[in-house]
Amino acid sequence: MKELDVESFCNACGLVTSSDEWENKFLSTKQTNFHYPKEVFPSYCLMGLEHF
């Protein structure tokens, strides 16, 4: 999953992403506007989870 995919998914769920002075993206804590996305997103295989 690429950073742009994560950012798009978060925004589709109503979460706000921000950038610091080095352009690193992050999510602010305690966001209350989360909702399930209306769009359909592809499923992703996250590396390292195959051990669980």
pLDDT along the chain (52 residues), means of 10: 81 90 90 84 60 48
Domain ranges of the chain: 1-51
* Residue from 33, 18, 10, 16 nearest 2 by CA: 10
Q: Which residue has the tokens 């080095």?
A: 22
The pTM score is 0.65
What is the reported pLDDT for 1?
Answer: 67
- Cα torsion angle, 28, 35, 37, 52, sign: positive
